[in-house]
């Protein structure tokens, strides 16, 4: 899927009240380049698109955040707007089989609930993009997790950390529920969060300490599509270009949020020391 650069240039010119001549002068190109791009006669190189979107971002116009708001305003009843972050773009049709088996809930197509959270996962790659996704859950079987012991155990299981407990009745019940679902809604668990879950699995902290440490990171919720039936009920609305200036901004934000999360996690570990159960007590 191509970027909507033609439509975006028209919007940007109108927003800043720039003529085609003025817009061309800003970026050091001929007017004919702008005319052909707007009419979709030509598709520009990524270097030019980066200049256009970086120009907007530096002037305070966060195009992708604005698009997210507009898409949410236009959603039909029972439809949900999601985002999918990609290192370089979706290759071919969406498929549950392309996901990594050791992801949070195994193979599947993963989406987030907000642009801000999704871009933070790919902003350090050279050519990232974020897709806006329209999803309707009608007639699908969904399961929802919050930050809980059950969720932590599910993440640990799919990441291959519960081999010694795989015959546990509790684990079998959790995995049984997940395997019956078309899609899952659950907190996002990045590698930093998994390190915290790891300390719980290793018996270093209790489930209460772990839950509150994880809640402190506040990465938002994700949708995981596990069946073809669920995939058939999503559609891509747009592929969003992430400019170099936007990547730089979110890289800095990621560092700041990570430091805040680490501090909150340390405090939670201290505050809830001695409360809750260790993993052997839960799965014995």
Q: What is the pLDDT at residue 101?
A: 65
Which of 61, 83, 105 is a domain's end point? 61
Do 212 and 126 lie in one domain? The reply is yes
User: What is the count of structural domains for the chain?
Assistant: 2
* Per-10-residue mean pLDDT, the chain, length 284: 94 95 94 95 94 95 95 93 92 78 85 93 92 96 94 91 87 94 91 83 89 78 95 96 95 79 79 88 85
Helices 20-27 and 31-38, packing angle to 10 deg: 110
3-state SS assignment for residue 72:
helix
Tokens coding 267: 């405090």
| pLDDT, tens digit, 9 for 90 and up, residues 16-45 | 999 999 999 999 999 999 999 999 999 999
Give the residue among 210, 178, 171, 174 at the shortest CA–CA distance from 193.
210
Nearest residue to 49 via CA among 240, 249, 250: 240
Within this chain, do residues 105 and 156 fall inside the same structural domain, yes or no? yes
Parent domain of 212:
62-283
231 and 126 within one domain: yes
Tell which residue, 224, 236, 231, 26, has the closest CA to residue 129.
236
pLDDT at 195: 83
Domain boundary among 34, 61, 88: 61
> How long a stretch of residues is the chain?
284
pTM: 0.90
pLDDT at 99: 65
Query: Token pair for residue 52?
Result: 């256009």
d(CA 123, CA 32): 33
Same domain, 52 and 78: no
Q: How many CB atoms lie within 10 A of CB 14?
A: 9
Same domain assignment for residues 107 and 30: no
Same-domain check for residues 86 and 2: no
> For the residues of 179-234, what is the DSSP string, one character each?
HT-SEEEEE---HHHHHHHHHHHTTSS-HHHHHHHHHHH---EEEEE-SHHHHTTE
For residue 266, the model assigns a pLDDT of 81
Q: Is residue 216 within 8 Å of residue 259, measured between CB atoms?
A: no
Q: Which of 96, 31, 105 is CA-nearest to residue 229?
A: 96
The last residue of one of the domains, among 16, 41, 61, is: 61
The burial class, CB within 10 Å (0-12 / 13-18 / 19+), for 88 is exposed
Do 46 and 94 share a domain, yes or no? no
- Asked whether residue 49 falls in the same domain as residue 103, the answer is no
Same domain membership, residue 113 and residue 8: no
- Within 10 angstroms of residue 168's Cβ, the number of other Cβ atoms is 16
One domain, residues 21 and 140:
no
Do residues 190 and 56 share a domain? Answer: no
Q: How far is CA 265 from CA 189, 195, 230, 240, 250, in A?
A: 14, 12, 35, 33, 22
Beta bridge partners of 86: 129
Cα–Cα distance between 229 and 191 in angstroms, integer?
A: 29
Q: What is the CATH number of the domain that holds 41?
A: 1.10.260.40
Indicate whether 149 and 22 sit together in one domain. no
- 109-112: strand order across its sheet: 142-144, 183-187, 221-225, 109-112, 80-86, 129-135, 234-241
Q: What are 123-157's pLDDT values in tens digits?
A: 999 999 999 999 999 999 999 999 899 999 999 99
Q: How far is CA 180 from CA 139, 173, 185, 225, 254, in A?
A: 14, 11, 14, 12, 35
């Amino acid at each position: 899927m191509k970027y909507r650069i033609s439509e975006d240039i028209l919007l940007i010119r109108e927003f800043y009240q720039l003529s085609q001549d003025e817009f061309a002068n800003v970026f050091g190109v001929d007017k004919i380049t702008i005319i052909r791009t707007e009419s979709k006669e030509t598709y520009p190189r990524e270097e030019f698109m980066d200049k256009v979107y970086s120009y907007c971002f530096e002037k305070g116009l966060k195009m992708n955040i604005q698009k997210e708001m507009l898409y949410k305003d236009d959603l039909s009843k029972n439809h949900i707007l999601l985002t999918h972050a990609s290192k370089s773009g979706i290759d071919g049709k969406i498929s549950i089989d392309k996901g990594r088996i050791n992801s949070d809930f195994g193979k599947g197509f993963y989406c987030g609930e907000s642009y801000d959270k999704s871009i933070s996962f790919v902003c350090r790659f050279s050519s990232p993009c974020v897709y806006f996704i329209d999803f309707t859950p009608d007639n699908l079987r969904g399961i929802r997790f919050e930050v809980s012991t059950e969720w932590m155990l599910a993440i640990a299981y799919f990441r291959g950390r519960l081999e010694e407990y795989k015959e546990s009745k509790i684990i079998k019940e959790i995995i049984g529920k997940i395997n019956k679902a078309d899609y899952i809604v659950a907190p996002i668990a990045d590698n930093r969060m998994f390190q915290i879950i790891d300390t719980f699995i290793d018996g270093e902290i209790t489930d209460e300490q772990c839950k509150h440490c994880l809640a402190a990171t506040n990465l938002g919720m994700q949708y995981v599509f596990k069946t073809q039936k669920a995939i058939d009920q999503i559609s891509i609305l747009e592929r969003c270009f992430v400019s170099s200036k936007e990547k730089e901004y979110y890289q800095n934000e990621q560092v700041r949020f990570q430091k805040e999360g680490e501090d909150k996690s340390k405090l939670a570990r201290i505050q809830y020391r001695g409360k809750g159960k260790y993993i052997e007590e839960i799965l014995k």
